Chain A
Amino acid sequence: MKKIYSVFLCVTLVVMLNGCTGCKEVNTLVNLTPPNGIYDQLVLDTTFLTATFPAAQPKNVLIEDFTGEKCDNCPRAQARGVTVVETNPGRVSVLGIQCAPPLDNPYFSSFDLRTKHGDDLLGLEASNVTGLPTGDVDRKIYSGNPNSLISDFIWPSTTTSELALPTIANIDSFSKSYDPAGRIFSLKQNVTFTKASTDTFYYSAAIIESGMVGLQLTPTNVDSHFVFQHVLRKMIEPWNGLNIANGPAAGKTCRVSFSTILPSNWVADSCRVVTFVHRRGAKNDVEQVKETTIK
């Protein structure tokens, strides 16, 4: 009897400690994987007019830092971007966009930071760019320039000027969730226009990550412990922006949502999402930017 009891006790213990891993069930009723295109796809959920007009938010600024692992002066531009962000906490977001091959080709022993749309984003600002670093502030074309690309030396002063401007678009997070088991991040935001405009507006979302350590060419050598900051990991489709409003009236609110799965080699704690409202076409000016943590 003692033996029977001991066996029964052991079986119970094993079942409890293992959480009954051998009892797997089949259940196909729940759709865990969405239909193609649902992930990484911006969706305009709804639009409506708010009953009360909110006050305009302060204008935030987006810097697109076009960079590459084999661009020796790019670390300088990254450092300048970091300084601008730290000088204006919560007001400036940087996208470190690997582009312009072969400057963005990874070293053999390093990891690949290139994205599907890095070169597309550079092409949105100018064509046939062969020299890095370069970048833009709010995708604006400043007087005397043929396009929006400007030297990183003038990013700080240009950013300061942009921060002082008003904006007509507010971005507010409506809901956010992160499922660590499935590494699924979902975001829903409201874009509210506080003044009427005749322009057409688009909404873009980018996932960025900081803190990766890898190989980077510098003016003196190849730094094997270079820390990459605010690297663009992914643009949510459409990469060049989802049309949310054509000549919006004051008070018009557009609710946009998306979900994305973070690959296992991205550190969720180091990832952030940068969303921005902008124009597209002859002018690509960014109207407002918001940066949000993943977790």
Chain B
Amino acid sequence: MALLLCLAGLALGVSIVYTFWLNPEVAFFKSIAEKKLSWSEKMTREEGKKLVIYGGSSCLFSIDAIRLLRERHLPAVNAGLGAGMGARVLTQFAFSQAKRGDTLVVALEPDLLADSLEPPSLGIQFSMAMGHPEWLDGLDAPRFPRLNAVLALHPGGFHFFTLIGKCFSGKPLYRYSAAEVDAAGWEQTPIRLPVRPLEPPKIPLTMAVKQWLKALKDDCGRKGILPVYSLPWGFVPPESLPQVQNANIGLLLEIMEFMPVLKDPRLGCYSNKESFADTCWHLVPVAAGFRTGELADQIQNQRFWLRPELVSLVSQEVESERITPRRKL
């Protein structure tokens, strides 16, 4: 029994070393997170108030913060990382960069609000590798048990076998590289893969997610930060637009109870397949420029959805004219 316990300890120790220093996915996120933190400090120092825009990889690939500063004079940081980290860690990472007077643009993928808020393995590994276990703690929940966090520092079957497959096939160990991410946190990738359409989000939100959104709103209020929600753009083929948009409207009506929602007439749906790089959330640079521009318009003109507007949309079939992109890319 003692030998088995020693082996377990040894395996855990090796796993921790691997996760902290060798895991290519964690290393990528650590590296880009440091870039984002440093840009964020620079914006606070040089510009004062700023936008902290965050979410999963949809945000990472779609918001060009340097363009926001240069063309729109909006100091901003793209604090997006990966959806695999979970809403709690993504939010805490972004929140750590937000200062009094900043605007926190919550651009979390709807799926992150449908799932459990318990941090997934990647979120735990990232937080621990960054030396910030407190990012695992919920805004409204008790402290995440640190022993659980330590035990989650193993690679896991998916990671292990994927890595083995990549080694044998000679592919790079991680699809993306930190060099693809600019100083302000926006990533562009040369990879192009077939893109599957987005599924409608699960609604209604669970009570736990609602409590968490309320805690986020309250925390922002206490710290003098303005939270706003912006639905990220995902690929939805024209025939699925009404279904996904209606579901997104339902989601926005729920989020609206906790924070203003930026008025994106597309309702998070983008039908041009060529505008997506390798997943239904990763915009190509041209489309990212377009998304960045529209987001800037909404923020600068203070365009927010009003509840009656959304209610009127959900009650009727969404007209294709309203949701068709104004400009073809």
- A and B: bona fide binding partners: no
Name A residues whose Cβ lies closer than 8 Å to a Cβ of B: none
